[in-house]
Structure 1
Amino acid sequence: MNKKVAFYTLGCKLNFSETSTIARSFEKEDFERVDFSEKADIYVINTCSVTENADKRFKTIVKQAQKNNPDAFVAAVGCYAQLKPEELAAVDGVDLVLGATEKFKITDYLNDLSKNNHGEVHSCEIEEADFYVGSYAIGDRTRAFLKVQDGCDYKCTYCTIPLARGISRSDNLDNVLRNAREIASQNIKEIVLTGVNIGDYGKGEFGNKKHEHTFLDLVQALDRVEGIHRLRISSIEPNLLKNETIHFVANSNTFVPHFHIPLQSGSDAILKKMRRRYLTNLYVDRVKHIRETMPHACIGVDVIVGFPGETDEHFLETYHFLNELDISYLHVFTYSERDNTLAAEMENPVPQHIRKKRSKMLRGLSVKKRRAFYESQLGSVRTVLFEGENKSGYIHGFTENYVKVKAPWDPSLVNTLHQVELTNIDDDGLVRIAFVSETVSA
């Protein structure tokens, strides 16, 4: 019988794409992939270290694996595994910890699947992570996450990602297009472009800083790939989101009017302490430009509350800045100290109860912003891609501009595109629809 392997992924879409690539390497070695809740011979946990919660969840997930099979071999890979390999190796039940350069060669380390008293560590100095491994993940039958870039050359004072993933480097354009065609051939309707800093696309391997292609070259080439119905750009830095890219998306065949642009703070003083590469006036300019070219676009924002030295005045500056900005929703992160970052050593840390209070205020603002955006779209005709789950008798889907809609469950709608009219907002905050057309694409 083939040995069984199960995977658990913490963190971002990039981690999901890499888990899929690692899973395919197991399939080539004749392992059978099963769900993490099932009994397996090997459990692979792809870790994240962006927030404290991701660190804490790791131990819980290891316990779950041990409960499913006390004799199973447990391996940890990913960002946390690179940053704190010995810490993970010391967790009861962990047998193998692989760093940034080793994770894609995991099957080479599995000659002996017997349990270890202490986790075995194979991790590199992060400077050695100078090569690129392309990957993509198929989250469900409707969309795929396509990795186009890895690592980051920015030195934001709160962030450990450069320590966990190394320098900025990109897949070459031919490989990206090959992966996109492979995804399209599997009847997947939407591709989400992912990376650590995708606007920096084009930097080659081995620290080559020359951009062979730009991010604009990438989106123009992907727009010409046949069989892809939708392309969505994931998070992109405001200083790297150029006007020509915004114009191209506005007139594109497949790129959808949805941008997710990290802000982190609406206070220029805090942005400078964070060592971000822009100030609020540039951010306002980007939002304004999107609204001028695509009035119906969805604009999401990342924001961090409770950064060291953030006074009440700084926070209110952020709150009012976001309140007045024509955006659609927020992703709110409560600042947490990370080892080996400059921010962790800064004076005037914000007390935890104040961080929580500020986070709650911005989450409330996000609900208000999303509601206002949804209301602005009522009466319009949009195209919805329906997803695969029956949720309490309803099927859900997203419009091209990221309005979440619901309709009575109908299995024939799964993974199809329909033109619909957005009619009203339901009690749960989702939008009800009326069908305008037959299937746009099955």
Structure 2
Amino acid sequence: MNRVHIKTYGCQMNERDSEAVAALLRARGYRIVANEENCDVLLLNTCSVRDAAEQKAIGKAAHLAARKKKQPDFVLGILGCMAQNRGAELLDRLPDVDLIVGTQKFHQVPGYLDNLRAAQAAGAPIGSTIIDIAEEAGSQNTIRDHVLEAQQVSAFVSIQQGCNMDCAFCIVPKTRGDERSRPMDDIVRECEQLAERGVKEITLLGQIVTSYGRRDYVHTGGVTPFVQLLERVNAIPGLQRIRFTSPHPRGFKDDLIQAYGRLEKLCEYVHLPLQSGSNRILKEMNRPYSRERYLEIVSALRAVRPDMYFSTDVIVGFPGETEEDFAQTRELFETCNYDMAYIFKYSIRTGTPAATLADQVPDAVKEERNQVLLGLLEANSNRRNATLLGTTQEVLVEGPDKKDLQFMGRTRGNRIVHFAADERLIGALAPVKIERASTAVLYGSLALAGVENP
């Protein structure tokens, strides 16, 4: 009864949390299985950013609860943001859940499962649901273990948890707690160990990743702790690329902008959340920047790296958003010429300031505005991809594609490329000539001269 399947909803931080839980469980003697039909324990690592994400996880849990009638020893657990947000309230709808663990208690999951298995082995019913959503000092330091697949070339590294920004629409401060950073030496050591195990690309993760260490380390010569960390990771032998997410526009001071011109491993790709192009709506959202300042950041980054790729987050239909407000968002969206964007229709999150605001925007209007921006994004992506046709791009070869027909990798600008290759190139930085493109994917062929061996 030790086979565990973890199903993850939501962001890259949730993916990293699930991986850390899996590593801890393996160390305790559990088997992590890919197929949920073959597991004895199923853990749902959940998201609360939008109501739809919570409802999806609740629906999945309700479906799985029926399995317990056929398999009495089956264990069902809910982890992460929804567990933190709802706690014992989940039992009103999901009375058969055995384990509810919040975002600061992931490292306790193996011990709780041990307790449940011990009860089963003794022939006793599982009994009351185990619920742990308490805060725990230092919990940010427990997300450090990795489960690396064979020839895995990229990895996430958590550097910071929590958020102090209090955006009016966002539930994250409630689900993730106050801002907490890991020791820099520990992060660098983790990155070094990953590089020694063959990882070529690392993505640094945090709720507000650019706020890393601001209360824990001094600014040295005008260089923020986050950029100090980037400098140290950039110096790690064997590592080829660095990315990070998710930042905040206010974190893009001159030192970070200039880092793109001097740190050769820092990829020319920026995720820069916008949320709205209207100063009035930004103020209502409690976002401490203006559209003018946002454009200054974009322009400064493009001055340092003219070939910079940009992605963003945008919310349409925030309470009170008028046609003029949306027109300003659309205009700024067009001006910034994003390569990728995550466009969300505003979702009421109970407990946030925006939930009680007047002038909630009708769903039909949200959908219309969503489609407008999606149309612009598709045109932007097609236009950028067209400029790459005939060029040779440096691609980090990750492995076979999902259909196992070709190999795939990513450019420094985070574009997915499919091409014919050999397994020996996994982990290599390979030059690929781009021959055709869809909206989301590039296709090409290897230009083998000069391939760097992994």
Tell me if both proteins adopt one fold, taking TM over 0.5 as the criterion.
Answer: yes
Partner of 1:264, secondary structure, is coil
| Percent identity for Structure 1 against Structure 2 | 28
The answer on 1:289 being equivalent to 2:300 is yes
Cα distance in 1 between the residues matched to 2:419 and 2:326: 39
1:403-425 deviation line (CA, Å, top 9, x unaligned): 22221364444433201233332
How much does 1:116 deviate? 4.8
Partner of 2:74: 72
What amino acid maps onto 1:104 in structure 2? H
* Bigger mean CA deviation after superposition, 110-119 or 370-379: 110-119
Q: Name the structure 1 match of 2:144.
A: 135
Q: Is the contact made by 1:258 and 1:297 (CA closer than 8 Å) also made in structure 2?
A: yes
Q: What does 1:214-253 correspond to in 2, within 5 Å? A: 214-253=225-264
Higher percent of residues as helix? 2
Structure 2, unaligned runs of 5 or more? none
Q: Which moved more, 1:406-415 or 1:29-38?
A: 406-415
Cα deviation code 1:359-414 (max 9, x no counterpart): 11111111111112222333433210123333443332211112222213644444
Shift of 1:79: 0.9
Deviations 1:294-351 (A, max 9, x none): 1111111110011000111111110111112243221101110001000000000001
Q: Does the Cα contact within 8 Å between 1:396 and 1:404 map onto a contact in 2? A: yes
State the partner residue of 2:2.
Answer: 3
Partner of 1:104 in structure 2? 107
Deviation at 1:203, TM superposition (A): 4.4
Deviates further, 92-101 or 112-121: 112-121
Q: CA RMSD in A?
A: 2.4
TM (norm. structure 1) is: 0.91
Offset of residue 429 of structure 1: 4.9
Distance 2:388 2:406 in 1: 21
The normalised TM-score by structure 2 is 0.89
Measure how far apart 1:66 and its partner are: 5.8
Structure 1 residue 279: deviation in Å? 0.8
Alignment of 1:345 onto 2:348 = no
Alignment of 1:4-403 (within 5 A): 4-62=3-61, 63-64=63-64, 67=67, 70=71, 71-90=73-92, 91-110=94-113, 111-113=115-117, 114=120, 116=126, 119-124=129-134, 131-133=139-141, 134-135=143-144, 141-203=152-214, 214-392=225-403, 393-403=405-415
Residue 258 (structure 1) shift: 0.5
1-side partners of 2:106 and 2:43: how far apart? 10
Contact 2:334 2:376 in 1 (8 A): yes
Question: What secondary structure is seen at the aligned counterpart in 1 of 2:274?
Answer: strand
**Partner SS, residue 250 of structure 2:** coil
> SS of the residue aligned with 1:397?
strand
Larger deviation: 60-69 or 148-157? 60-69
SS in 1 for 2:140: coil
- TM-superposed CA distance for 1:271, in Å, is 0.3
Please report how far the alpha carbon of residue 53 of structure 1 lies from its aligned counterpart in structure 2 after TM superposition.
Answer: 2.1
- Deviations for 1:3-44, whole angstroms, at most 9, x for unmatched residues? 222211111111111112112221221111112424222222
Instruction: Report the 3-state secondary structure (helix = DSSP H, G, I; strand = E; otherwise coil) of the residue aligned with 1:401.
Output: coil
1:91-114 alpha-carbon deviations (Å, 9 max, x no partner): 153111112332221222231334
Distance 1:117 1:354, change over 3 A: farther
Checking the alignment, whether the CA contact within 8 Å between 2:160 and 2:209 is kept in structure 1 is yes
CA contact (8 A) 1:18 1:136 kept: no
**Structure 2 residue identity aligned to 1:266:** G
Tell me how far apart the structure 2 counterparts of residues 32 and 137 of structure 1 sit (CA, whole Å). 15
Over 3 Å counting, the alpha-carbon distance change for 1:375 and 1:269 in structure 2 is same
CA distance in 2, matches of 1:137, 1:267: 41
Structure 2 Cα separation of the partners of residues 348 and 130 of structure 1: 41
| 1:32–1:417 CA distance, 2 compared to 1 (3 A) | same
* Cα distance change of structure 1 residues 203 and 244 upon mapping to structure 2, 3 Å threshold: closer
Task: Point out 4+ residue stretches in structure 1 off by more than 4 angstroms.
Answer: 64-69, 114-118, 128-131, 136-140, 208-213
1:251–1:37 CA distance, 2 compared to 1 (3 A): same
Q: 1:345 to 1:173 in 2, by over 3 A?
A: same
Distance 1:380 1:325 in 2: 23
